[in-house]
């Protein structure tokens, strides 16, 4: 869009669930035209790239991650012309658009699967993974533990079992088949031709199966992704592939290849450790996981997040840590789902503004490009009584009206959060925009400050030594002679912290958020931080 193929290294991302964002035609479902209406809002917030959850025709057994047609728009959301207009309008505002590319599986309603199950001789039969027994690949774990008992499902019509890593309504595609490989490249091309800026590649560790393995991160998967990247580069030199690989850092590292595989990858393990550190008031978990995070190629970038549309996943923690996280953050069993917690950011953090801002301070200053989940910038609540992950996918709260300015319809796809303190009367965009001290404005200022300092996006990370190594997390971000020093107070008490300055840094610092000046003395900077406070300083 602007001739900068590395734009994603500096970008602020924002995840939108189209169904939930804004309903333009009063049918109770958010749609693409509704999102177009809200692009000015996102531009003003400082968003550079929007990630759209799946917008394709689907029976919605997994909210669109069960795709029934890879080349069209779900009628609830609009049509391909609306999509083209969305891309054009976003680009006018220098905002890029990526959407989910669900490579691993289709919906069982997809015509390929329908043809495959009906006729053993159909070319589509081999698009999926079939077996006469349900005993193969027994080392592969079940991901949707609360609903699925096996990765195999019996299909009466086909007279065989088929393989599925997610719901049984999502049969896995067979990547051994070169036609499947090509089909999905063609799907990418279809959307790239419509002007899209890339994809969030869903569930990529699971593309291939091999007996005797856990069927994750296999070499064949990497080989295909490299092929996809080469194809992608040819058609979209400025586009990105963002990998959803919920794995340990060393396994995710492989998805960057030599800078010839995925451009970006979510950093899953750091996310729960931010929550651990906040609750324990101890920076150790964050420090440890970042020390375990390998270097990545120059042309790649981590993507960091606090929450998204799924449960807060606890797959990348130890069993003890998971139990502890559940006790602390999901005391009610309704809050738990699979290996995670189905709650939003604000309720997880007891709606404590200082803690929510501290979490965002970490998000915006640690390595990686940050992604915000819609509604978290205003501290929206959740509804644990809705099924599956729907409780974190409720209508966006634009104003204080009953339907929250989301829709003019009486009946909505899901109820607006109605309970105090998260109902529209308490939490909405309009009132936070009017209040300079609101969560929204603090986050907007953080985004602006982050974007004014390239070292936040490209700089390396070095810990700063302090006299409060547990209560605080202090670090330098440095690039091209620019040095930033961030000090976060993880504790619920005020802290006076002495930071030992690294060689050649300081003694003068300016505060990037509040415009204050600081002066170090004798090689130490002394700073007073309020409970859960943070300082973003620039040396010189
Ligand atoms: C990961 C997505 O984030 C999740 O929402 C979905 O259910 C699975 N992949 C299956 O596509």
| Strands 152-155, 160-163: pairing kind | antiparallel
381 touches 415 (CB < 8 A): no
Say whether pLDDT at 346 is over 70: yes
Indicate whether residue 337 lines ligand 1 (CB < 6 A).
Answer: no
> Atom 6 (ligand 1): residue with closest C-alpha?
65
The pLDDT of residue 517 is 94
Indicate whether residue 155 lines ligand 1 (CB < 6 A).
Answer: no
Which atom, in ligand 1's list, is nearest to the CA of 165? Answer: 10
Probe residue for ligand 1, chosen from 101, 106, 202 as the CB with the greatest number of ligand atoms within 8 Å: 202
How many angstroms is it from 386 CA to the middle of ligand 1? 18
How many angstroms is it from 202 CA to the middle of ligand 1? 7
- What average pLDDT does the structure give for the chain? 97
Concatenate the DSSP letters of all residues of 10-75 into one string. T--EEEE-HHHH--SSSSSS--HHHHHHTHHHHHHHT--EEEEPP-S----TTTTSS-S-TTS--T
Rounded CA-CA distance 33/51 in Å is 16
Q: How far is CA 308 from CA 88, 302, 532, in A?
A: 26, 16, 23
Q: What is the pLDDT of residues 155-205, one digit of tens each?
A: 999 999 999 999 999 999 999 999 999 999 999 999 999 999 999 999 999
Query: Which listed residue (197, 216, 244, 388) is catalytic?
Result: 244
The pLDDT of residue 3 is 82
Indicate whether residue 103 lines ligand 1 (CB < 6 A).
Answer: no
Indicate whether residue 166 lines ligand 1 (CB < 6 A).
Answer: yes
Indicate whether residue 311 lines ligand 1 (CB < 6 A).
Answer: no
The pLDDT of residue 455 is 97
Q: For residue 156, indicate whether it is catalytic.
A: no
Probe residue for ligand 1, chosen from 52, 167, 310, 391 as the CB with the greatest number of ligand atoms within 8 Å: 310
pLDDT band of 149, cuts 50, 70, 90: very high
Task: Output b/e per residue, 68-98; b: 16+ Cβ within 10 A.
Answer: bebeebbebbbeeebbeebbebbeeeebbbb
Say whether pLDDT at 296 is over 90: yes
Indicate whether residue 102 lines ligand 1 (CB < 6 A).
Answer: yes
Probe residue for ligand 1, chosen from 151, 166, 342 as the CB with the greatest number of ligand atoms within 8 Å: 166
Probe residue for ligand 1, chosen from 203, 266, 312, 392 as the CB with the greatest number of ligand atoms within 8 Å: 203
Indicate whether residue 202 lines ligand 1 (CB < 6 A).
Answer: yes
Indicate whether residue 65 lines ligand 1 (CB < 6 A).
Answer: yes
Q: Which two tokens stand for residue 408?
A: 């003019």
Q: For residue 244, indicate whether it is catalytic.
A: yes
How many angstroms is it from 62 CA to the middle of ligand 1? 7
Say whether pLDDT at 1 is over 90: no
pLDDT, average across residues 307-332:
98
The pLDDT of residue 515 is 87
Percent of the chain topping pLDDT 70: 100
How many angstroms is it from 164 CA to the middle of ligand 1? 12
Query: Which listed residue (76, 100, 202, 216) is catalytic?
Result: 202
Close Cβ partners of 53 (under 8 Å, ≥ 6 residues apart): 15, 16, 17, 18, 63, 64, 99, 100, 309
Rounded CA-CA distance 241/49 in Å is 13
3-state secondary structure of 357: helix
Q: What is the pLDDT of residues 31-51, one digit of tens each?
A: 999 999 999 999 999 999 999
How many angstroms is it from 481 CA to the middle of ligand 1? 41
> Atom 4 (ligand 1): residue with closest C-alpha?
310
Which atom, in ligand 1's list, is nearest to the CA of 102? Answer: 11
Rounded CA-CA distance 326/339 in Å is 9
Which atom, in ligand 1's list, is nearest to the CA of 104? Answer: 11
Say whether pLDDT at 19 is over 70: yes
Indicate whether residue 335 lines ligand 1 (CB < 6 A).
Answer: no
Max Cα separation, the chain? 80
Rounded CA-CA distance 73/31 in Å is 10
pLDDT band of 2, cuts 50, 70, 90: low
The pLDDT of residue 218 is 98
Indicate whether residue 282 lines ligand 1 (CB < 6 A).
Answer: no
Close Cβ partners of 296 (under 8 Å, ≥ 6 residues apart): 253, 256, 302
Write down the residue that tokens 């998260």 correspond to.
422
Q: Which residues pair with 536 in a beta bridge?
A: 486
How many angstroms is it from 143 CA to the middle of ligand 1? 10
Q: What is the pLDDT of residues 445-464, one digit of tens each?
A: 999 999 999 999 999 999 99
Say whether pLDDT at 417 is over 70: yes
Indicate whether residue 509 lines ligand 1 (CB < 6 A).
Answer: no
Percent of the chain topping pLDDT 90: 98
345 touches 379 (CB < 8 A): yes
Rounded CA-CA distance 534/474 in Å is 9
Helices and strands of the chain, counted as H and E runs: 16, 22
Write down the residue that tokens 């549309």 correspond to.
309
How many angstroms is it from 16 CA to the middle of ligand 1? 15
pTM of the model: 0.98
């Amino acid at each position: 869009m602007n001739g900068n193929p590395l734009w994603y290294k500096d970008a602020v991302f924002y995840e939108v669930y189209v169904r939930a964002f804004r309903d333009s035609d009063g049918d109770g479902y958010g749609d693409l035209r509704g999102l177009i209406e809200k692009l000015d809002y996102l531009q003003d917030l400082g968003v550079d790239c929007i990630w759209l959850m799946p917008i394709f025709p689907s029976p919605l057994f997994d909210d669109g991650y069960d795709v029934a047609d890879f080349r069209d728009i779900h009628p609830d959301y609009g049509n391909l012309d609306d999509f083209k207009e969305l891309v054009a309008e976003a680009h006018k505002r220098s905002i890029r658009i990526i959407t989910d590319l669900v490579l691993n599986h289709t919906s069982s309603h997809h015509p390929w699967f329908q043809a495959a199950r009906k006729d053993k001789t159909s070319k589509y039969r081999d698009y999926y993974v079939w077996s006469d027994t349900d005993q193969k690949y027994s080392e592969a774990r079940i991901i949707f533990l609360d609903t699925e008992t096996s990765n195999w499902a019996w299909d009466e019509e086909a007279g065989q079992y088929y393989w599925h890593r997610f719901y049984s309504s999502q049969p896995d595609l067979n990547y051994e088949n070169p036609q499947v490989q090509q089909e999905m490249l063609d799907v990418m091309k279809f959307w790239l031709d419509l002007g899209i800026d890339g994809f969030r590649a869903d569930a990529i560790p699971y593309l291939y199966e091999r007996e005797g393995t856990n069927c994750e991160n296999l070499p064949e998967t990497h080989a295909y992704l490299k092929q996809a990247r080469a194809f992608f580069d040819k058609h979209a030199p400025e586009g990105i592939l963002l990998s959803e690989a919920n794995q340990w850092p060393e396994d995710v590292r492989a998805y960057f290849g030599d800078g010839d595989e995925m451009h970006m990858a979510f950093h899953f393990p750091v996310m729960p450790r931010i929550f651990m550190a906040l609750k324990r008031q101890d920076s150790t978990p964050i420090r440890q996981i970042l020390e375990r995070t390998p270097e990545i190629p120059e042309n790649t970038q981590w993507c960091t997040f606090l929450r998204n549309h799924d449960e807060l996943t606890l797959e990348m923690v130890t069993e003890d840590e998971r139990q502890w996280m559940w006790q602390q953050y999901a005391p009610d069993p309704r809050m738990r789902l699979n290996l995670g917690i189905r709650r939003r950011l604000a309720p997880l953090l007891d709606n404590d503004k200082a803690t929510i801002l501290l979490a965002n301070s970490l998000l915006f200053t640690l390595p990686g490009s940050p992604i915000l989940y819609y509604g978290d910038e205003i501290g929206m609540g959740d509804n644990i009584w809705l099924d599956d992950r729907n409780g974190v996918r409720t209508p966006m709260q634009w104003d204080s009206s009953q339907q929250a300015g989301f829709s003019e319809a009486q009946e909505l796809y899901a109820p607006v959060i109605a309970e105090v303190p998260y109902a529209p009367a308490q939490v909405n965009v309009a009132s936070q925009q009017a209040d300079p001290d609101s969560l929204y404005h603090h986050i907007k200022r953080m985004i602006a400050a982050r974007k004014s300092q390239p070292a936040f996006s490209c700089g390396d990370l070095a810990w700063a030594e302090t006299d409060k190594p547990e209560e605080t997390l202090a670090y330098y971000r440095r690039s091209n002679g620019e040095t930033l020093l961030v000090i976060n107070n993880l504790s619920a008490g005020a802290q006076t912290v002495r930071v030992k300055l690294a060689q050649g840094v300081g003694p003068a610092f300016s505060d990037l958020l509040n415009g204050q000046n600081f002066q170090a003395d004798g090689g130490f900077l002394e700073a007073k931080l309020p409970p859960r406070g943070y300082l973003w300083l620039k040396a010189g």
